[in-house]
């Protein structure tokens, strides 16, 4: 986000040289540089046995399910954000956040930090921002996420990380 005015005092920012970053908006009064940085958020695949938690949120995609996501709050680590967002959105307890990678989403200036976590306890209790939430068998999850390209990539990383192979899993069921 590019600032023209200081979000603290409201004064017009001036440019100050910052080595590798070049000219950066600077508030002379508050002595703060305002770097043009993306907003950090998390995208979380919640694993419970052979299932992954998917959400339906009409404001994101009309015809696609998604993973849990949310913004990193000031003062918390991204791992704390992962646990908090899952608890806030669906009311369940998770553990062991494992980092899977990052994606940059230019239209909203987001840096999406992706994780997988393991379900620990609790029943799904969806928040007001969630239209639906339910567990989906791993063999069906990618078809449910038809519009969410980043979410599908995250699920594929989860499959690789846990050694999920649909054919191997189908043989276990028989």
- DSSP of 94-143, one letter per residue? EEEEEEEEEEEEGGGTEEEEEEEEEEEE------TT-SEEEEEEHHHHHH
| pTM as predicted | 0.83
Confidence of residue 1 (pLDDT cuts 50, 70, 90): low
* Cα–Cα distances in angstroms (integers) from residue 2 to residues 31, 44, 147, 156, in the given order: 17, 28, 30, 34
Q: Is the pLDDT of residue 21 over 90?
A: no
Q: 113, 102 in Cβ contact below 8 A?
A: yes
Average pLDDT over residues 158-165: 91
Q: Kindly state the tokens that stand for 23.
A: 């000219």
For residue range 32-51, what is the model confidence (pLDDT) as tens digits? 999 888 899 999 999 999 99
Q: How far apart are CA 114 and CA 162, in angstroms?
A: 15
Class of domain 39-162: alpha beta
Looking at residue 57, its pLDDT comes to 83
Mean residue pLDDT across the chain: 90
CATH 3.90.79.10 positions along the chain are 39-162
Residue 167: its pLDDT value, please? 59
């Amino acid at each position: 986000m590019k600032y023209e005015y200081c979000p603290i005092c409201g004064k017009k920012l001036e440019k100050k040289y910052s080595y590798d970053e070049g000219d950066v908006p600077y508030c002379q009064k508050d002595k703060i540089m305002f770097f043009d940085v993306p907003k950090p958020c998390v995208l979380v695949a919640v694993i419970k046995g052979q299932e992954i938690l998917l959400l339906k949120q009409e404001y994101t995609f009309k015809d696609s399910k998604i993973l849990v996501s949310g913004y990193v709050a000031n003062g918390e680590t991204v791992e704390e954000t992962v646990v908090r967002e899952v608890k806030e959105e669906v009311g369940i307890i998770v553990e062991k956040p494992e980092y899977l990678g990052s994606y940059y989403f230019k239209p909203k200036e987001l840096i999406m930090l992706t994780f997988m976590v393991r379900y620990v306890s609790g029943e799904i209790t969806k928040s007001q921002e969630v239209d639906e939430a339910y567990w989906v068998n791993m063999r069906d999850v990618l078809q449910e996420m038809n519009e969410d390209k980043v979410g599908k990539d995250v699920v594929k990383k989860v499959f690789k990380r846990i050694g999920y192979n649909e054919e191997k899993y189908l043989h276990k069921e028989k």
